[in-house]
Amino acid sequence: VFNAVYNSDDNVFVGAPSGSGKSVIAELALLRLLSSNAGGRAVYLLPKDALADIVFADWYHKFGTKFNLKVSLLFW
């Protein structure tokens, strides 16, 4: 999975059980984007507001404070 996500530009579908690391795979894809395009943007969709709050807090800390990137939480 790492090679498909981080070392290529191929589209990837990841279907796996809860808690198996799908969010980590998304983070790798985001890091790949940022390494090749400093102005890159990404949208990460989640099915539940509570889960979105958790991922937002985590990514705000990881990407917002450490990499000085804008991390936003949007509700539909």
Q: What is the pLDDT of residues 30-50, one digit of tens each?
A: 999 989 888 889 999 998 999
Distance CA 52, CA 44 (A): 9
DSSP string for residues in 52-67: HHHHHHHHIIIIIITS
Instruction: Name the residue ranges covered by the structural domains of the chain.
Output: 1-42, 45-76
Kindly state the percentage of the chain with pLDDT values over 70.
100
The confidence score (pLDDT) of residue 27 equals: 94
Q: What is the pLDDT of residues 1-36, one digit of tens each?
A: 899 999 998 899 999 999 999 999 999 999 999 898
21: left (phi > 0), else alpha (psi -120 to 50), else beta? Answer: left
Contacting residues for 8 by C-beta, under 8 A, at least 6 apart:
none
The confidence score (pLDDT) of residue 56 equals: 96
